[in-house]
Amino acid sequence: MDWSKNLIEEYELNSGIDIANETRKVSYTVAVREALDYALAEDESIFVMGQGVDDPSGMFGITLDLDKKYGSHRVFDTPLSENALTGIAIGASLTGMRPVYMHNRPDFLLMAMDQIVNHASKWSYMFGGHISVPIVIHATVGRGWGGAAQHTQTLQGLFMHVPGLHLVMPSTPFDAKGLILSAIADNNPTIIIEHRWLYRQSGHVPEGPYAIPFGRGVVRRIGKDVTIVAISYMVVEAMQAAEELSAEGINVEIIDPRTLKPLDEEIILQSVQKTGRLIIADTGWKTGGVGAEIAAMVAEKGFEYLKAPVKRVASLDIPTPACYVLEDRFYAGKANIVSCCKEILSVNTY
């Protein structure tokens, strides 16, 4: 059975259900677990593997008790050997299985770059589309616990650079469930990077299955003065900044791309055409990062819309410190976005 055909695309779902007025509200953690639970129930070719997926805490709760429900042959712990295990998962996907490989941290994906970049992303291309690699690689960004330089890196800039990979970064419980189901149903390798602080968020999530198509961003807040393209947890920071700026008469528009590959360029360009000003807020490093790519795209395709130089809000270009005070300084957030908005609005128009 092609279980993915049971998924309702987001626009079809929204035509019949008012998400904003839905009474069912769950945490981001529950939304992710629901997506995995539904996929496992519908298709026996799907399995979940990774360090800690069968622990009592269920990897932050997102795999809680799934090993008990589906058995240790379908939800199982893995050794500390990321490159080898990623190769095993890719091999399984080449034979018709649909593995979901859960990583505690994106940092551990660096151990598997050979498998991800040289194999998963290229097999379909090298064999003329006759082979697919339906693998989902999921990682959670750590922050606020002193993980320091080797356990808190946000590496979306690296994966955005590689052809053949989908790259997903949800910001809400609703999007998390829909995008994970889309990723599992897709026949291409998909990297999902989630921010641990998003697990604190709650939102309206339908009980049933639904899919959010890749490459379709969303306007989180309508505005006219400045466009903020916010990635992952920076959507939360941008929304908080927007409230503060609104009190001062500054009206910002917030765009959430939801997927970075493919990227919804149209929704970004339409917003910039309206506001004339662009800020990109990302959780990764500034140099060579997601913000640089989006800024370049707007410069190439929408330069005539700009009334001021593009601004980027991102982490400092240094390894992450462990000390809480230094870590707080390292990460950008609401205050940086507020300051950036005021600065960009003070620039004389071209």
Residues involved in catalysis? 82, 151
**Of the candidates 117, 123, 122, 120, which has an alpha carbon nearest to the alpha carbon of residue 99?**
120
Q: Report the candidate in 3, 7, 5 with the shortest Cα–Cα distance to residue 178.
A: 7
Q: Cis ω on the peptide bond leading into residue 79 (within 30° of 0)?
A: no
Q: Where are the beta strands (DSSP E) in 181-288?
A: 190-195, 202-204, 210-211, 218-221, 226-230, 252-256, 259-261, 278-285
Rounded distance between C-alpha atoms, residue 193 and residue 201, angstroms: 16
Give Rg (Cα) of the chain.
Answer: 20
Angle at 109 between CA 123 and CA 293, to 5 degrees: 80
Cβ neighbours of residue 216 closer than 8 Å, sequence gap 6 or more: 10, 258, 259, 264, 267
Looking up tokens 């707080």 gives 328
